[in-house]
Amino acid sequence: MKIAITGGTGFVGKELTRLLHMQGWEIYILTRHPKQSSLGITYVEWLTERAAPEKQLEGIDAFVNLAGASINVGRWSDKQKKEIYDSRITATNEVLRILKALEKKPEALVNASAVGIYPNSDSYTYTETSTNFGDDFLAKTVFDWERLADQAKELGIRVAYGRFGIILGKDDGALPLMALPYKLFGGGTVGSGKQWLSWVHVYDVARAIQFAIETKTLEGPFNVTAPNPQRMKEFGKELAKALGRPHWIPVPSFALETALGEKSRLVLEGQRVLPVVLQQHGFEFTFPHLQSALADLYK
C-alpha cells in the first residue's frame, strides 16, 4: 500500500507511521521541513511557495489528513484559537487541491476529527448517529473541518473522519499533563469528578486509522474512543494506581478556569462517546480498558 500522511511528524502521525512502516507500507509524509528520506518513508515538502507535492504522490492508495495546530499547548488566546482553526482549514484545502491534481485518485481519505463536536453532557451517550452538535469553539472547528473534508467525495473518493477522544500516550498528548500532579504526589479529582472522559490509547488510534483505510464499507464519522469511557474521578484513581501515587488533593474547577480559561472545558466538562461504527465493522481494541492501557504506557 502507498499512503500519504499530513501531520505525520505529530503525536498520532508518528505512531501511525511506525505501525504502517513495520507492515511494509510505502509512506509519504507531507511536511514544511522535509528531511532525508529512508527506506519506505519519503518526506515531501508542502504548504510552501515552491512545493508541488502532487508530483510525488501519483499512484497513492490512500490519504490521511492529521494536520493542525495542537489544542493541548498553552492557554487559548484569540490568536491561538485562530491558529487552531486556520491550520486545519488551510491544510484540508491543500489536501483537496492535491487530490484534484492527481490523475489517479486514491481510494480513501481518512481525515482527523474530534469528539469535541458533541455537546458536553454528564448523562447522554453519543454515537455516530447523534446529530446534536455543540456550539462552542471546538465544536464549530470540528464541524467545519469535517464538512470541508467531505468535499473529496465529489472526486469519487471514500471519505471517513475519525472523531478522536482523549488520546493517551506516555510522552505526548494530554496524559503527561494529567500525570504530572500525581508524579509530584499532588494528584486528585479534577472538578466535580463526574464529567466523562472518552479516552483511547494512541496505538489503537493508529490501528483504527489503518482499519478505516482498509475497510471499504466504512465512511463518514467513526468515533475513535475506547469502548469503556470513565468518569474523571475514576480515571484519576486508575492513573494514581498506575503511577504508584496517592489520589487525594482535589483540583477545584475555579482554579483550572483561572489558569486555562476557555480551554479548561476540555477537562471540566466531557462527553460519553462510544465507538459503535468501528465495532460494527469488526474492529477489536487492543486496549479496551483503562487499566490495561495505563499499564502498557507506564510499564
Between 234 and 36, where is the model more confident? 234
The full set of domains in the chain, from first to last, is: 2-168+199-227+272-286 (3.40.50.720)
What is the structure's pLDDT at 231? Answer: 97
Please report the pLDDT score of residue 75 as a whole number. Answer: 79
Q: Does 270 score more than 80 pLDDT?
A: yes
- CA distances to 20, 41, 232, 245, 254 from 236, rounded to whole Å, are 32, 38, 6, 10, 19
Task: Single out the residue of 289, 11, 33 nearest to residue 170, CA to CA.
Answer: 11
Tell me: the pLDDT tens digits for 167-176? 999 999 899 9
C-beta of residue 25 within 8 angstroms of C-beta of residue 18: no
Q: What is the per-residue pLDDT for 295?
A: 98
What percentage of the chain reaches a pLDDT higher than 90? Answer: 87
First vs last Cα of the chain: how many Å apart?
33
User: What residues contact 38, with CB distance under 8 A and at least 6 apart?
Assistant: none
Torsion-angle region of 132 (φ positive above 0: left; ψ -120 to 50: alpha; else: beta): beta
Nearest to 115, CA basis, from 169, 171, 161? 161
- pLDDT reported for residue 116: 96
Instruction: Write down the pLDDT at residue 35.
Output: 87
Cα separation, 51 vs 32, in Å, equals 9
pLDDT at 43 (0 to 100): 96
Looking at the chain, the whole-number percentage of residues with pLDDT higher than 70 is: 100
Stated pTM of the model = 0.96
Please give the Cα distance from 95 to 47 (Å, whole number): 10
- 233 versus 39: the higher-pLDDT residue is 233
User: Which amino acid is located at 262 in the chain?
Assistant: E
**What is the full DSSP assignment across the chain?**
-EEEEETTTSHHHHHHHHHHHHTT-EEEEEESS----BTTEEEEE-SSTT--GGGG-TT-SEEEE--S--SSSS---HHHHHHHHHHHHHHHHHHHHHHHH-SSPPSEEEEEEEGGGSPP-SS-EE-TT------SHHHHHHHHHHHHHGGGGGGT-EEEEEEE-EEE-SSSBSHHHHHHHHHTT----BTTS-SEE-EEEHHHHHHHHHHHHH-TT--EEEEES-SS-EEHHHHHHHHHHHHT------B-HHHHHHHHGGGGHHHHS--EE--HHHHHTT---S--SHHHHHHHHT-
**pLDDT tens readout for residues 133-156:** 999 999 999 999 999 999 999 999
Q: Which residues contact 200 (CB under 8 A, 6 or more apart)?
A: 164, 165, 166, 167, 168, 224, 225, 226, 287
What's the pLDDT at 261? 82
pLDDT reading at 258 higher than 80: no
Look at residue 55 in the predicted model and tell me its pLDDT.
96
pLDDT digits (tens, 9 = 90+) for 61-111: 999 999 999 988 777 889 999 999 999 999 999 999 999 999 999 999 999
**Has residue 260 got a pLDDT over 80?**
no
What would the pLDDT profile of 19-50 be if each residue is shown by its tens digit?
Answer: 999 999 999 999 999 888 888 999 999 999 99
Higher pLDDT, 203 or 268: 203
Cα–Cα distances (Å) from 184 to 34, 169, 237, in that order, read 38, 19, 15
Average pLDDT along the chain: 95
User: Is residue 259 over pLDDT 80?
Assistant: no
Categorize the per-residue pLDDT at 257 as very low, low, confident or very high, splitting at 50, 70 and 90: confident
Interatomic CA distance for residues 55 and 102, integer angstroms: 8
What's the longest Cα–Cα distance across the chain? 60
pLDDT the model gives residue 268: 87
**pLDDT score of 148:** 98
Which pLDDT does position 39 carry in this prediction? 87
Distance CA 158, CA 75 (A): 36
